[in-house]
């Protein structure tokens, strides 16, 4: 009998080896991974990241934040580029969103934060309170107060919730967990303009959409806006636990000495992996190739599924794709796995695809061929 809490419904297999976009189970069976570990191994199992980790382990793998960290400075510079941001490093998406909430409240002196129905921001109390899904919150007692929930892609619903005590609006540019729902461009631009006009901070949760997942380093770059605070995690360090927030430099006084911290945040291993990941993501032509190949994947999926009665819609942004279906999700996942393809679900009726950004055209053809055969 397992000695673990049974809060995960685990498939009866274990992955024991990985190469590039492929996983191998305990029996040696090979799988094409179109989940990226739930959007974490964005670059697959890349030799450049493996080498960076090995080199860092050989040198030093932990030093507390009581001392200088040239690796943190290096990663911050690569993340920020020409933007007027400062970075704070932590360990996960939930921690990043907690930091974003704390920064917004302290910087404004206000407490109310608006997020969206069906959003997902994490499972710690602050991040869970920001999440607009009751099923995530049931059974845990009183939540953090002063959160309210607008309707996604509806600016008027946001305006209706704003008061003189509104500190921030917290937005996912693609609602991933609830069904891979991209935000509409006019809504995002209107929201950004409204927040700026009212002096409300705009927090964009890029935990799943960031680090190249949508074909740009950050999804907000598709929309022509500049958030006040951005939260990151998942693909930041390609599988080593890491999170971050980027915040406008004018907010720096709110995160002054002693205001917030993280024992493991920005640790040497995570930063070594993040630095190597960013080198790959920012290499000439890499993200342009991601955009081109993700368009190919979407085109091939739509062609393959056009006559499938159980397929309702195919949508997404970059390599974040949802197939809405009337089919049975666990059955579809099992059928794909039996044919050597790892896929995910989202919401109640969506198959979610999060392939590595490094997949080849041949791997796209392979995945689409399998998917075509599992839908009715």
Are β-strands 320-325 and 311-317 bridged in parallel, bridged antiparallel, or unpaired?
Answer: antiparallel
Q: Do 65 and 130 share a domain, yes or no?
A: yes
> Residues 218-236: what's their mean pLDDT?
98
Global pTM?
0.97
Give residue 213's pLDDT.
98
Averaged over 242-265, what is the pLDDT? 97
Mean pLDDT throughout 358-362? 98
Instruction: State residue 1's pLDDT score.
Output: 87
Query: Would you list the DSSP string of 55-80?
Result: HHHHH-S---TTS--HHHHHHHHHHH
Q: Is the dihedral of CA 252, 257, 262, 267 positive or negative?
A: positive
Nearest CA among 243, 298, 253, 249 for reference residue 274: 243
Task: Name the strands in the sheet holding 201-205, side by side, starting at the edge strand that comes first in the sequence.
Answer: 85-90, 243-248, 229-232, 201-205, 166-171, 112-116, 147-150
Same domain for 153 and 85: yes
**Residues 25 and 13: beta-carbon distance below 8 Å:** yes
Identify whether residues 145 and 272 lie together within a single domain. yes
Say yes or no to pLDDT of 301 above 90: yes
Residue 298 in this model has a pLDDT that exceeds 90: yes
Is 89 domain-assigned?
yes
d(C-alpha 145, C-alpha 165), whole Å: 13
Residue 1 lies in a domain: no
Count CB-CB contacts under 10 A for residue 309. 10
Chain-centre distance for alpha carbon 340 = 25
Residues 129, 210, single domain; the answer is yes
Q: How far apart are the first and last CA of the chain?
A: 38
Amino acid 19: pLDDT:
98
Tens digit of pLDDT for each residue in 76-123?
999 999 999 999 999 999 999 999 999 999 999 999 999 999 999 999
Residues 145 and 170 in one domain: yes
Q: Which of 262, 281, 300 is the last residue of a domain?
A: 281
- Whether 332 shows a pLDDT value over 90: the answer reads yes
Domain boundary among 246, 281, 316: 281
Q: What does the pLDDT look like over 153-184, one tens digit per residue?
A: 999 999 999 999 999 999 999 999 999 999 99
Q: Mind listing the pLDDT tens digit for each residue in 23-49?
A: 999 999 999 999 999 999 999 999 999
On whether both 370 and 263 belong to a single domain, the answer is no
User: Residue 232: beta bridge partners?
Assistant: 244
Domain that holds residue 238: 48-281
Give domain status of residue 131, yes or no.
Answer: yes
Q: Name which of 36, 15, 39 is nearest 26 in CA terms.
A: 15
pLDDT value, residue 105? 98
Q: Are residues 52 and 42 in the same domain?
A: no
Q: Where among 237, 255, 281 does a domain terminate? A: 281
Beta-bridged to residue 231, according to DSSP, are 205, 245
Quote the number of domains for the chain: 2
- Residue 4 in any domain: the answer is no
Whether the CB-CB separation of 275 and 78 falls below 8 Å is answered with yes
Same domain flag for 218 and 272:
yes
């Amino acid at each position: 009998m397992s000695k673990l809490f049974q809060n995960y419904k685990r498939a009866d297999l274990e992955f024991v080896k990985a190469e590039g976009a492929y996983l191998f189970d305990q029996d040696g069976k090979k799988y094409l991974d179109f989940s990226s570990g739930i959007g974490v191994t964005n670059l697959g199992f890349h030799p450049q990241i493996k080498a960076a980790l090995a080199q860092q382990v050989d040198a030093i793998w932990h030093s507390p934040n009581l001392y200088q960290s040239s690796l943190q400075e290096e990663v911050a510079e690569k993340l920020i580029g020409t933007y007027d941001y400062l970075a704070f490093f932590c360990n996960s998406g939930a921690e990043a969103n907690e930091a974003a909430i704390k920064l917004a409240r302290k910087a404004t002196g206000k407490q109310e934060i608006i997020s969206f129905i069906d959003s997902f921001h994490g499972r710690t109390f602050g991040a869970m309170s920001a999440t607009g899904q009751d099923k995530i919150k049931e059974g845990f007692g009183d939540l953090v107060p002063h959160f309210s929930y607008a309707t996604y892609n509806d600016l008027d619903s946001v305006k209706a919730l704003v008061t003189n005590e509104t500190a921030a609006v917290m937005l996912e540019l693609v609602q991933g967990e609830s069904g891979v729902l991209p935000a509409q461009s006019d809504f995002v631009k209107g929201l950004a303009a409204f927040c700026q006009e009212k002096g409300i901070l705009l927090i964009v949760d890029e935990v799943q959409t960031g680090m190249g997942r949508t074909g740009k380093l950050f999804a907000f770059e598709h929309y022509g806006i500049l958030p006040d605070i951005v939260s990151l995690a998942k693909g930041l360090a390609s599988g080593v636990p890491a999170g971050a927030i980027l915040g406008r430099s004018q907010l720096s006084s709110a995160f002054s000495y002693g205001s917030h911290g993280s024992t493991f945040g920005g640790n040497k291993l995570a930063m070594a992996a993040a630095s190597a990941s960013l080198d790959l993501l920012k290499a000439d032509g890499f993200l342009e190739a991601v955009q081109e190949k993700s368009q190919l994947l979407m085109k091939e999926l739509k062609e393959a599924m056009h006559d499938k009665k159980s397929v309702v819609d195919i949508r997404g942004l970059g390599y974040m794709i949802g197939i809405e279906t009337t089919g049975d999700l666990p059955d579809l996942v099992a059928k794909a796995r039996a044919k050597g393809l790892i896929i995910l679900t989202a919401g109640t009726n969506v198959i979610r695809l999060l392939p590595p950004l490094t997949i080849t055209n041949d791997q796209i053809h392979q995945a689409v061929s399998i998917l075509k055969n599992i839908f009715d």
